[in-house]
Chains A and B, each alone.
Chain A
Amino acid sequence: MSRVAVLKGGRSLERQVSLRSGARSEDALARLGHEVVSLDVDADLIQRLRDAAPEVAFIAMHGRDGEDGTIQELLEILDIPYTGSRVVACIRATDKVLAKHLMLEAGIPTPDFFAFSETAFRELGAADALPAIEERLDFPIVVKPSSGGSALGIKFARSAGDVPAALVAAFSYDSRVLLERYVDGRDLAVSILDGEPLPVVEAVPRDEEFYDFEARYEIGRTDFICPADLPPDVTARAHDLALRTYNLLGCEAFARVDLMLDREGELTVLEVNLIPGLTETSLLPQAAEAAGISFDELVGRIVELATARAAAY
Chain B
Amino acid sequence: MSTSRDIERYAALFASRTKVMKSSAMRDLMAVTARPEVISLAGGLPDTSTFPPDTFAAVAQRIATESCAKALQYGPTEGLDETKACIAEVMAAEGMRVDHEDLIVTTGGQQVIDLVTKTLIDPGDVVIAEGPTYPGAVPVFSSYQADVVQVDMDSDGMRIDLLEEKLDRLDRDGRRPKFIYTVPSFQNPAGVTMSLPRRRRLVEVAHERELLVLEDNPYGLLRYEGDAPTPLLSLDGGIYVMYLGTFSKILSPGIRLGWVVAPPPVLEKINLGKQAADLCTSTLSQLMVQAYFEESRWRDYVESLTEVYRARRDTMLDALAEHFPRQAEWTRPAGGLFIWATLPDFIDTTNLLARALRDNVAFVPGEAAFLDGRGRNSMRLNFSGSDEDAIREGIRRIGEVVTEQVDLYGTLTGERPAVRAKETASVDDNVLRLPERAERKRRARGS
Q: State the A residues within 8 Å of B (CB).
A: 11-17, 19, 42, 118, 121-122, 127, 130, 152-153, 163-165, 167-169, 171-173, 201, 212-214, 217-221, 223-227, 229, 280-281, 285-286, 289-290
State whether A16 and B31 are in contact (beta carbons under 8 Å apart), knowing that A152-B354, A164-B346, A168-B405 are contacts in the complex.
yes
| Binary CB contact string for chain B from 1 to 41 against chain A (1 if under 8 A, 0 otherwise) | 11111110011001000110011110111011001000000
CA distance A227 to B14 in the complex (A): 24
What are 10 A-B pairs with beta-carbon distances under 8 A?
Answer: A13-B29, A16-B27, A127-B414, A164-B413, A173-B355, A201-B4, A214-B23, A219-B14, A280-B7, A286-B7
B23–A289 touching, CB < 8 Å: no
CB nearest to B10 among chain A residues: A219
Q: Which of B2, B346, B351 has the most CB of A within 10 A?
A: B351
8 A Cβ contacts from B338-360 to A: 346-348, 351-352, 354-355, 357
Instruction: List the A residue with the shortest CB-CB distance to B360.
Output: A11
Partner of A280, one of B6, B35, B411: B6
Q: Are A172 and B31 in contact (CB under 8 A)?
A: no
Assembled-state Cα–Cα distance A3/B155 (Å): 61
Q: Which of A16, A19, A127, A172 contacts B405 (CB 8 A)?
A: A172
How many B residues have CB within 8 A of the partner chain?
A: 38
B20 to chain A: closest CB distance in Å? 11
B354 touches A13 (CB 8 A): yes
Known: A14-B28, A127-B414, A290-B4. 8 other contacts (CB 8 A): A11-B35, A164-B409, A219-B7, A225-B1, A225-B2, A226-B3, A280-B6, A286-B7
- Interface contacts (Cβ under 8 Å), in number, total 115
Query: In the complex, are the beta carbons of B3 and A165 less than 8 A apart?
Result: no
A-B residue pairs, 3 tightest by C-beta = A172-B355, A164-B412, A172-B351
Residues from chain A with a CB closer than 8 A to the CB of B137 are none
The interface residues of chain A lying within 8 Å CB-to-CB of B85 are none
Q: List residues of chain B with CB within 8 A of the CB of A16.
A: 27-28, 31
Nearest B residue to A213 via CB reads: B25
Contact B405 A15 (CB under 8 A): no
Residues of A within 8 A of B35 (CB): 11, 42
Chain B residue with the shortest CB-CB distance to A9: B31
- Which one of B6, B10, B32, B352 lies within 8 Å of A289 (CB-CB)? B6
Q: Which of A121, A213, A223 contacts B408 (CB 8 A)?
A: A121
Task: Give the chain A neighbours of B355 by CB distance below 8 A.
Answer: 171-173
Cα(A280)–Cα(B11), bound, Å: 11
Q: Quick check: A290 and B405 within 8 Å, CB to CB?
A: no
A176: min CB distance to chain B, Å: 13
Q: Which residues of chain B in 49-90 are interfacial with respect to chain A, using CB atoms and an 8 Å cutoff?
A: none
Contacts of B11 in A (CB 8 A): 219-220
**Chain B residues whose C-beta falls within 8 Å of the C-beta of A118 in the assembled complex:** 408
CA distance A227 to B7 in the complex (A): 14
- Contact in complex: B23, A218 (CB < 8 Å): yes
List the B side residues contacting A280 at CB < 8 Å: 6-7, 10
Given A223-B3, A290-B4 in contact, is the A153-B27 Cβ separation under 8 Å? no
Q: Which residues of A contact B354 (CB under 8 A)?
A: 13, 152-153, 172-173
Docked complex Cα distance between A190 and B348 (Å): 33
A285 to B3, CA, bound (A): 13
Least Cβ–Cβ distance between A82 and chain B, in angstroms: 24
- CB distance B413 to A169 under 8 Å? no
Which chain A residue shows the least CB distance to B417? Answer: A122
